[in-house]
Amino acid sequence: MKQTAVLYVSTLLALIAIDFVWLSVMGARLYRPVLKDMLLQDFRPAPAILFYLLFAAGVVWFAGLPALTERSWRAALVNGALLGLVCYATYDLTNQATLRDWASVLTLADMAWGTVLSALAATIGYAVARAFGD
């Protein structure tokens, strides 16, 4: 139980920290030029918090816990990457199919980012849980 809690918290913190860096750097360079006035000036914290809590749970369930069972950081990396790709593709491809001003470059960049983010967070969470769990 302790190892699972450590896995969740470390995965959550990794997701938030890594994504904060990405959004801080790429928000003005990638998202704002494409999405323009569709973006709020300031984000809404409640949906963002809920997203990170839920997404971390998904990364733990589909990548972190299987990796701990297998005792394999590679399982965390691969499963995290696949989960990130599927989740971000769902969002980005749906937007590209339904929104007038959604650009293909945004879809590709965001899907790649989701893949990398989830792989990194799953692997970091796994490493921390192995080091400090049970």
Task: Give the span between the Cα atoms of 50 and 29, in whole angstroms.
Answer: 25
What per-residue confidence (pLDDT) applies to 41? 82
CB 127 within 8 A of CB 133: no
pLDDT over threshold 90, residue 100: no
What per-residue confidence (pLDDT) applies to 37? 84
Task: Give the span between the Cα atoms of 6 and 96, in whole angstroms.
Answer: 37
What per-residue confidence (pLDDT) applies to 134? 65
What per-residue confidence (pLDDT) applies to 28? 86
Task: Give the span between the Cα atoms of 87 and 102, in whole angstroms.
Answer: 17
Give CA separation, 4 vs 29, 34, 63, 117, in Å. Answer: 37, 39, 12, 20
Mean pLDDT value of segment 76-97? 98
What per-residue confidence (pLDDT) applies to 36? 85
Q: Chain-wide mean pLDDT for the chain? A: 95
- State both tokens at 57: 């749970």
pLDDT over threshold 80, residue 128: yes
Annotated domain spans of the chain: 2-132
Mean pLDDT value of segment 91-103? 93
For the stretch 28-66, pLDDT in tens is: 898 888 888 888 888 899 999 999 999 999 999 999 999
